[in-house]
Chains A and B, each alone.
Chain A
């Protein structure tokens, strides 16, 4: 069980799921201190929400394959299949690597957060610096969801596991239990993080716009390809309404 307790978060970059120990330079939540999220953080928060949804869909496809009996037979193979189906978004990784202290030989997008056996979250300091508090909290929620969902998943398949141990459950089913448990945990963990990001965006929408406090926070979305990303944000109410409608059309508003 110890190994499962040190699961590290998958950034929406398709990075590897290692299950390795959290690096020593990671800091506890009390020393993370990310900045509060403001309207300026909304586009990136929205982009991360979208990529988390894409990652969740990729894990669902892995799970579907496992349930059909044609899926991966090990956790490592499940992660590899997930990675082959999820590309992530370089704009998220670009924000991470823009950290002043970023060192490619030390900081890794495959490991930005983890949870200790005692339930304490620990984060890469660059992650704390580069992303606002709600994104960090969503990542912690994702991490914290892994341990109980993996344990609950194992318990729910406990009888099949007993049968596997005793040698009378078909090997194909025994092989599927690990990947299935992992996929279920990833689905629930992604959903936990997405719920927090959605709530964050709802809060941000109620904030005043930094350029015009009479307006509520609106932004050019990063999630709808080039439709809005390079255009200056309108200054009029009707212009902002157009942006908002565009976001609705592209289904980026939760």
Chain B
């Protein structure tokens, strides 16, 4: 792990994503140091290093930005159990390696990406919401937005390159592959 200066990649206007962030850190400063983990290339395995969320509640007019400490696993909706996730970008595909503790297999899910240029990909799988991935200074950055009703969540995620074995020793060795690259909503 190394510490580097975090500079947010330029946000793309995607599917109604508000261009409110631009360059700089979530707290408005320009030079805060955040541990982003190791550097790498798109094809490496990446794990979350930081998450910054901006929540807009149209019902109340509320607006809140929070930088979430640490990696923050994605919780399963029903019970909040954390999902362990590694992502990589290979052959214009987002490959997500996902496991939940106690499961006998882990999942490797391929989703289509659209390459905008050599450093930026758009997620092309969803029927709503948007995600984009870009490389900057050897780190992977994701910008995403999702909206339901009057509420919108905008997020910026930085990833550090995974160091060590894969799959991790705690994971099962059996993997279930799923190719969603040809799936048409």
What is the CA–CA distance of A180 and B9 in the complex, to the nearest angstrom? 29
A162 contacts B98, C-beta separation under 8 Å: no
Chain A residues with Cβ below 8 Å from B144 are 156, 159
Instruction: State the Cβ distance, A198 to closest chain B Cβ, in Å.
Output: 12
What is the CA–CA distance of A69 and B148 in the complex, to the nearest angstrom? 6
A162 contacts B109, C-beta separation under 8 Å: no
**CB of B180 within 8 A of chain A?**
yes
Q: Which of A1, A2, A172 has the most CB of B within 10 A?
A: A1
Chain B residues with Cβ below 8 Å from A177 are 77, 148
Give A118-159 as 1s and 0s: 1 = Cβ < 8 Å from B's Cβ atoms: 110000000000000000000000001101110110111111
A155 contacts B85, C-beta separation under 8 Å: yes
B183 contacts A188, C-beta separation under 8 Å: yes
A162 contacts B53, C-beta separation under 8 Å: yes
Contact partner, B183, options A66, A156, A192, Cβ 8 Å:
A192
Please judge, given known A-B contacts A152-B125, A155-B98, A163-B55, whether A178 and B78 are in contact too, CB under 8 Å: yes
B153 contacts A163, C-beta separation under 8 Å: yes
Interface footprint category on A: 35 or more
A168 contacts B76, C-beta separation under 8 Å: no
What is the CA–CA distance of A170 and B23 in the complex, to the nearest angstrom? 27
Residues B132-156 near A (CB distance < 8 A): 144, 146, 148-151, 153, 155
B55 contacts A67, C-beta separation under 8 Å: no
Contact partner, B75, options A162, A180, A191, Cβ 8 Å:
A162
What is the CA–CA distance of A86 and B66 in the complex, to the nearest angstrom? 42
Residues B107-138 near A (CB distance < 8 A): 107, 109, 111, 123, 125-129, 131
Q: What residue in chain B is nearest A145 (Cβ atoms)?
A: B183
**CB of B51 within 8 A of chain A?**
yes
**CB of B11 within 8 A of chain A?**
no
Please judge, given known A-B contacts A159-B155, A191-B185, whether A154 and B74 are in contact too, CB under 8 Å: yes
B102 contacts A2, C-beta separation under 8 Å: yes
Instruction: State the Cβ distance, B174 to closest chain A Cβ, in Å.
Output: 7
Q: Which of B64, B74, B105, B157 has the most CB of A within 10 A?
A: B74
Contact partner, B53, options A66, A68, A75, A163, Cβ 8 Å:
A163
Contact partner, A155, options B80, B83, B183, Cβ 8 Å:
B83
B55 contacts A169, C-beta separation under 8 Å: yes
Chain B residues with Cβ below 8 Å from A188 are 180, 183, 185
Contact partner, B68, options A160, A166, A173, Cβ 8 Å:
A166
**CB of A176 within 8 A of chain B?**
yes
B109 contacts A151, C-beta separation under 8 Å: yes
B151 contacts A169, C-beta separation under 8 Å: yes
A69 contacts B125, C-beta separation under 8 Å: no
**CB of B163 within 8 A of chain A?**
no
Q: What residue in chain B is nearest A176 (Cβ atoms)?
A: B148
A152 contacts B111, C-beta separation under 8 Å: yes
Residues B40-81 near A (CB distance < 8 A): 51, 53, 55, 57, 59-60, 64, 66, 68, 72, 74-78, 80-81
**CB of A181 within 8 A of chain B?**
yes
Q: What residue in chain A is nearest B176 (Cβ atoms)?
A: A119
28 A-B pairs (CB sep. < 8 Å): A67-B128, A67-B148, A68-B149, A69-B150, A75-B78, A118-B176, A119-B176, A147-B107, A149-B180, A149-B183, A152-B109, A152-B111, A154-B76, A155-B85, A155-B96, A158-B83, A159-B51, A159-B146, A159-B157, A162-B51, A162-B74, A169-B53, A169-B151, A169-B153, A170-B59, A172-B151, A180-B148, A187-B185
Which chain A residues have a beta carbon within 8 Å of chain B's beta carbons? 1-3, 66-70, 75, 117-119, 144-145, 147-149, 151-152, 154-166, 168-170, 172-173, 176-178, 180-181, 184, 187-188, 191-192
